[in-house]
Amino acid sequence: MYDFTCVDAHVHPFVQPESNIGRYGTPTDMADMVRLLKKAGITLCCGSVLRSNWFASPRWIQLCNRECFQLAEEYPDFLIPGLLIHAAFPEESCAEIEKYHATGKLHWIGEIVPYTTGTFNYSIEELFPVYELAASLNLPINIHPVNASDVAKVAENFPKLNVVMAHPGEKEPYQEKIDLMKKLPNLHLDLSGTGMFRWGMLKYGVQQLGAERFLFGSDFPVCNAAMNRAAVLAENLTDADLELIFSGNFRRLTSL
């Protein structure tokens, strides 16, 4: 039974050293990563395995996905695995989705980033089969936006697909995301990366859209999960808002 007290919807677990995207030598391994996240107050996390030495091939996608789901087996009460896909291999990507969905353990696609998808634009026809399948299976997809308007086109073209943009960013990019989310009810934002250190940023977003559109995330081990969690708690939000942001919205989107 998962503990949904505080869900970090954006982390990057790892098996191999080249999949550790932390920049200062820590965490040293997955056990250390779990320890540090729990110390930061995280009770459940979700994310994909990334590799610094990425090669565009179906084998590489399969390898990262296999490692991620193996880690989820090792930490069944703590890690929800995120699946990677690739625009150059839509058939193989769909096969990965179907394979892991059949196990009953796939609830999240992503975070997908440009070098793991083979494109800086996500609203391209090559990825349409992936989006169609994800929507039919009620699987949300977490996207690292290079261009927020491009990600918004995905949500617009696939209204039954729940799209979660990563990273609020600074004032202008954040405002652009807020404006796009106003137009698209299936577009959400995870709070990982830059942005949360700006006082009042989250409260402003909740006032504009409601707490239902935001998910807690950190991008650990690149960013400090404890700082992001403290930033959310410090904003002038209601207990109901906090419950949605820390866990309720993740549970709703993943049907967990």
On average, the pLDDT of the chain sits at 95
Is domain 10-254 in CATH 3.20.20.140, yes or no? yes
Summarised one tens digit per residue, pLDDT across range 90-107 is 999 999 999 999 999 999
Summarised one tens digit per residue, pLDDT across range 140-179 is 999 999 999 999 999 999 999 999 999 999 999 999 999 9
Percentage of the chain surpassing pLDDT 70?
A: 99
Q: How confident is the model at residue 1 (pLDDT cuts 50, 70, 90)?
A: low
**Average confidence (pLDDT) over 48-68:** 87
Q: How confident is the model at residue 2 (pLDDT cuts 50, 70, 90)?
A: confident
**Average confidence (pLDDT) over 176-203:** 97
pTM: 0.96
User: Roughly how many angstroms between the first and final C-alpha of the chain, as a whole number?
Assistant: 10
